[in-house]
Structure 1
Amino acid sequence: MNFFNLALKFKRFPIGEAKKLLKTILNKDEAELKNYIETKKREIVNYHLKNNTFYKDFTKNANMKAWEDIPVMTKSDLQQPLKNRLSDNFSLKNIHKHKTSGSSGTPFIFAKDKFCHALTWAGFINKYAWFNINLNTSKQARFYGIPLNKKGYYKERLKDILSNRYRFSVFDLSDTQLQKNAQKFKTTKFDYINGYTSSIVQFAKYLKQKNIVLKSICPSLKACIVTSEMLFKDDKALLETQFGIPVINEYGAAELGLIAFQNKKDEWIVNNEDLFIEILDKHDNVLPIGEKGRIVVTSLYNKAHPFIRYDLGDIGSLSKQSTLKTPILESLIGRADDIIVLPSGKKAAGLTFYYITKTIIEDSGYVKEFVIEQLKLNTFKISYTGNHEINRDKLQKIREAITTYLEPGLTILFKKEKQLTRANRGKLKQFKSHL
């Protein structure tokens, strides 16, 4: 049963139409692709200049005679109510609405029109097929977080059923839980693993301790896809050894979709079908191929909300072996999260704080940026910038969320700052452990 396609169609995402368009794009030769990209760049800019008040205001002081003159937008530019940023003829009723992960420390709510979102999924379907993974029929072992409030929890569980996946906890990475994970692999014919890098690496470390190769107890496994956090070479080698399957590095962003995906040659192929990727210096100039700079992305199909020359906050470079048909991401200095270690001995993924900090992410932009530091085993500090101090009720909700997701008895310190300290590449790291 094609549950995944049916779920998209039920939500009125035109996945069939999107697949047809993607096939047309993939079949273009070099010259056709160049013309296609340039045409789509002009079209999306002109569309938002005509139909999006926010984007018209954003670009009003720019003299946009060439693509390079178009101003670069950042996450902070988008931290205002979503209704202010929607294009004409779009509302909450006919868009895909979602939050960014907040892994950069600068969260916001965004929108994608339904065709754009369907095209995003068509891209995932195409790339996963490189490794014989079918999103409709392949069973997924999912290492992602899940909301623990009743509504959010059951919504995600329903999505898991429709998407043919089983979700493992990333909030509990104790040996007891990891032993249960291994047992589940013994009794379930999983086709692939997908999820947060740090959680999956912790599982692989447990398997190494127990001298278990996952493929030997779950022969149906074909591949492991890691996402949301950096994958380091040593960790990739560990995963390949303990899982006995190819390990694929996926790079994406909630607001954009798939940005790059590793092929069987370990090349990180950039998505140039519905995105346009640039590498810029600190002055917004395009860098020569091979030089490291800011990854700036344009969504070529999102008519509901402009993501035009959008600075992700990541640093990377394109390979000199790149061609227009096959652009290759050579390096990425991106999101890496530490493992949280708690007084009870429990461990959890750093991205656990994504679910905790959802309680302080507001569409109004009340909290602009935040970083979380683990100062001691039982002590965490949340530093934030915003228009106002977080009130007592909100502080209490945050403490309750931390107790729910982690454990009781933790000391949580809050501090409002005028400005947060950034790394030398200009990016905030949402969670940092000082242990």
Structure 2
Amino acid sequence: MNVFDLSLKLNGFPLKEARSVLNAIQQLEKTAFHDYVEQQKKAIVNYHLAHNVYYKTLFKRLPYTTWDAVPIMTKQDLQQPLANRLSDGFTKKNTYVNNTSGSSGDPFVFAKDKFCHALTWSIIQDRFGWHKLDFNRSLQARFYGIPLDKKGYYKERFKDALTKRFRFSVFDLSDDALETYLEKFKSTDFDYINGYTSAIVQFAKYLKQKKVVLKTECPTLKACVVTSEMLFENDKLLMEQFFGVPIINEYGASELDLIAFQNQNDEWIVNSETLFVEILDDQDQVLPYGEEGRVVITSLYNKAHPFIRYDIGDVGILSKTSTLQKPQLQKLIGRTNDIALLPSGKKAAGLTFYYITKSIIEDDGNVKEFIIEQLDLQTFKIIYISTEKLSVKQTETITQEMEHYLEKGLQIIFERQPFLKRSDSGKLKQFTSLLPHI
């Protein structure tokens, strides 16, 4: 029985109809696809102008004339009750309602109409199918957060049982916990791993420490899909070595859809069927393929709630080989609010600090995990978990390298902790600026 599909159907999501629409889009030739995108962009704007009072207030130049005149939406625009943002005829009872994790600092509640949400699952199943993974049959080892209250905990465990998932909590990544995870893999025929990058990297480091290749202990394992957090190349190589399976990078947003997914040729393919993805500069102008800018996304099907030219808060590059029908994400650089402001006035991506530090302190396997916080213009705190405290030589080297790559006069504080604070969902924010919003 296809339990996963059945659970969606019983909850009112028309998966069969959504798959039919997705299949029809994927069969379009180049010219027909171009016409489809243009028609769908115009249709979704006009729908919300006609049926959504909230969206009308954002749209300064009525009526719709050209795409360039369509306003950019931000997460700050959505900081108001959901009822104020829903289109005519939609309520919390007849839509899919959820909330973002807040890892970007701007959490909010959102809604999708049920057909739009069914399309989301159709896209996800299609992409996982590229790697012979089937949500109805393939057993998933899930590295995610889980509610700690009794009701929420058992609700998630029940959902996991229905959808062929076994959940490993990311809130305890101690050696003792990771040993129990390894034992579970030895006794269970998992098909793939799926979850937050940082937690799965910790599991790979533990396997390295044990000199164990997971595929040897769990021969049924086919792939590992990481999501929600940055994937660094050296972490990918580590996981490939000690999992013994391909590592697949997923990029998505709960309020939108699956945004990009790596295929078997290691191409990070952007979802062009149900989303329209643009890269914009600071003046909201569309950048050519190959140039770095803000990731702005339009949901082409969500009638319950507008996400039109929505600035998701990320910075990325679409490769020069991209086309309208097959855009490819060359690089995801990080979040626009993860910016460090230096004493000289220079700005740097916060992940620069993380990457410099990572290359130094993880060489010997002593440091398990770490995050960086900017406390003021010149002060940065590195909070870390380790077997042994960092030596004076190591802390001096890190400080010198940061000054070498950025500028002199920075103060680096090192703070060893037994665990790192994660968001309620279990995500780990690698860099945080505590300065007023830049």
Q: Same fold (TM over 0.5)?
A: yes
Alignment of 1:351-390 (within 5 A): 352-355=422-425
Contact 2:144 2:426 in 1 (8 A): no
**Distance in 2 of aligned mates of 1:346 and 1:169:** 17
Superposition RMSD in Å: 2.2
C-alpha deviations, 1:272-313, integer Å up to 9, x for none?
000000000011000011100000000000000000000001
Contact 1:75 1:311 in 2 (8 A): yes
Q: Secondary structure at the match of 2:229?
A: coil
Alignment of 1:241-260 (within 5 A): 241-260=241-260
Contact 1:289 1:319 in 2 (8 A): yes
Partner letter of residue 190 of structure 2? F
**Distance in 2 of aligned mates of 1:346 and 1:131:** 38
Alignment of 1:54-69 (within 5 A): 54-61=54-61, 64-69=64-69
Contact 1:103 1:354 in 2 (8 A): no
Change (3 A) 1:189 1:347: farther
Quote the residue 2:127 is aligned against: 127
Shift of 1:65: 2.5
Shift of 1:345: 6.4
Quote the residue 2:222 is aligned against: 222
**Distance in 1 of aligned mates of 2:161 and 2:309:** 36
Quote the residue 1:431 is aligned against: none
**Distance in 1 of aligned mates of 2:416 and 2:272:** 47
Quote the residue 1:312 is aligned against: 312
Quote the residue 2:156 is aligned against: 156
Shift of 1:346: 4.3
Shift of 1:322: 1.1
5+ residue gaps, structure 1: 358-370, 375-381, 384-418, 423-435
Q: How many residues are aligned here?
A: 365
C-alpha deviations, 1:324-370, integer Å up to 9, x for none?
2221111111267956757996445x6x223489xxxxxxxxxxxxx
Q: Secondary structure at the match of 1:334?
A: strand
Q: Secondary structure at the match of 2:130?
A: helix
Change (3 A) 1:22 1:175: same
Q: Secondary structure at the match of 2:19?
A: helix
**Distance in 2 of aligned mates of 1:325 and 1:38:** 12
Change (3 A) 1:345 1:287: closer
Contact 2:250 2:260 in 1 (8 A): yes
Contact 2:270 2:326 in 1 (8 A): yes
Quote the residue 1:199 is aligned against: 199
Partner letter of residue 424 of structure 2? Y
Shift of 1:233: 0.4
Change (3 A) 1:372 1:138: closer
Q: Where does structure 1 differ by over 3 angstroms across 4 or more consecutive aligned residues?
A: 60-64, 335-348, 354-357, 371-374
**Distance in 1 of aligned mates of 2:114 and 2:306:** 14
Partner letter of residue 301 of structure 2? Y
Alignment of 1:27-46 (within 5 A): 27-46=27-46
Contact 2:145 2:426 in 1 (8 A): no
Shift of 1:148: 1.0
**Distance in 2 of aligned mates of 1:155 and 1:279:** 39
Shift of 1:63: 7.1
Shift of 1:169: 1.2
Quote the residue 2:84 is aligned against: 84
Of 59-68 and 127-136, more deviation after overlay is shown by 59-68
Partner letter of residue 105 of structure 2? G
Quote the residue 1:421 is aligned against: 437
Quote the residue 2:51 is aligned against: 51
**Distance in 1 of aligned mates of 2:217 and 2:270:** 34
Change (3 A) 1:92 1:63: closer
Higher relative contact order (CA 8 A, sep 6+): 1
Identity %: 58
**Distance in 1 of aligned mates of 2:334 and 2:159:** 28
Contact 2:75 2:106 in 1 (8 A): yes
Partner letter of residue 188 of structure 1? T
Q: Secondary structure at the match of 1:168?
A: strand
Shift of 1:156: 1.3
Q: Secondary structure at the match of 2:424?
A: helix
Shift of 1:197: 0.1
Contact 1:229 1:334 in 2 (8 A): no
Using the size of structure 2 for normalisation, the TM-score is 0.80
Contact 1:225 1:250 in 2 (8 A): yes
Partner letter of residue 354 of structure 1? D
Quote the residue 2:408 is aligned against: none
**Distance in 1 of aligned mates of 2:318 and 2:187:** 42
**Distance in 1 of aligned mates of 2:159 and 2:283:** 43
Shift of 1:244: 0.5
Partner letter of residue 353 of structure 1? S
Q: Secondary structure at the match of 1:333?
A: strand
**Distance in 1 of aligned mates of 2:416 and 2:140:** 31
Shift of 1:153: 1.7
Contact 1:214 1:243 in 2 (8 A): yes
C-alpha deviations, 1:196-226, integer Å up to 9, x for none?
0000000000000100000000000010000
**Distance in 2 of aligned mates of 1:127 and 1:355:** 24
Quote the residue 1:98 is aligned against: 98
**Distance in 2 of aligned mates of 1:176 and 1:285:** 51
Quote the residue 1:189 is aligned against: 189
Partner letter of residue 291 of structure 1? E
Change (3 A) 1:161 1:356: closer
Q: Secondary structure at the match of 2:211?
A: coil
**Distance in 2 of aligned mates of 1:372 and 1:124:** 26
Of 289-298 and 155-164, more deviation after overlay is shown by 155-164
Contact 1:174 1:346 in 2 (8 A): no
Using the size of structure 1 for normalisation, the TM-score is 0.80
Tell whether 2:16 aligns with 1:12: no
5+ residue gaps, structure 2: 336-350, 355-369, 372-382, 386-414
Quote the residue 1:233 is aligned against: 233
